Amino acid sequence: MKILRIIPFLTVISLFVVTNCVVRYPSDLEEYSYWKKLDNLERDYLWIRIGDSIYGIKSHDFDDYKWVGAMDVDVATFEVCVGSKGYAKDKRHVYYPLLEVCYDGEAWGTYIMDIGYIIEGADPKSFKCLGYGYAVDRFRMYFKGKPIKWDNEILDPKVRERKSKEMYRYHYE
């Protein structure tokens, strides 16, 4: 009999836990930009389509770009998030050129090279670009293609802009 009295209490607790763990962002969250398929010979920041192949930037030294070979993407569903400076997706993966800034002390040069493209674990169906390098899917929040701790403040565009400027200032000062 005591067990029957506890069941309603446990049901309420279970419902509370389940409803707070499913989707972390509001479904009506506005994207910063829009998704666009690339036409032949069209380039969007770090992506270019040539025929039935997509190429991503491998490295660049100022205006001297080097491209990786044709990437293993589904060209029919490949889209770039216009204005995001890097986010792209197809039906299988979300992509972002995970670049590494390299300093060459001997040659006094700076160059950038890729260390990968696929954002592991990102969900292409729910992925949204928020602007200023931020993005979300139903599981995580990202900054410049890398998962970060979820922060509800970043859902506010003014906060995103401020935090992004702080991140850039930290990296370049």
Q: What is the pLDDT of residues 133-158, one digit of tens each?
A: 999 999 999 999 999 999 999 888 88
| Residue 100 contacts residue 115 (beta carbons within 8 Å) | yes
- Of 87, 101, 70, which is closest to residue 36 (Cα–Cα)? 87
Sheet holding 141-143, edge to edge: 128-131, 134-136, 141-143, 146-148
Q: Distance between CA 66 and CA 60 in Å, rounded? A: 6
| Residue 94 contacts residue 127 (beta carbons within 8 Å) | yes
State both tokens at 123: 């969900």
- Ordered by start, the domain boundaries in the chain are 33-172
pTM: 0.73
Q: What is the pLDDT of residues 12-59, one digit of tens each?
A: 455 444 444 444 565 667 787 899 999 999 998 889 999 999 998 765
- Which amino acid appears at position 15 of this protein? L
Give yes or no for residue 107 having a pLDDT over 60: no
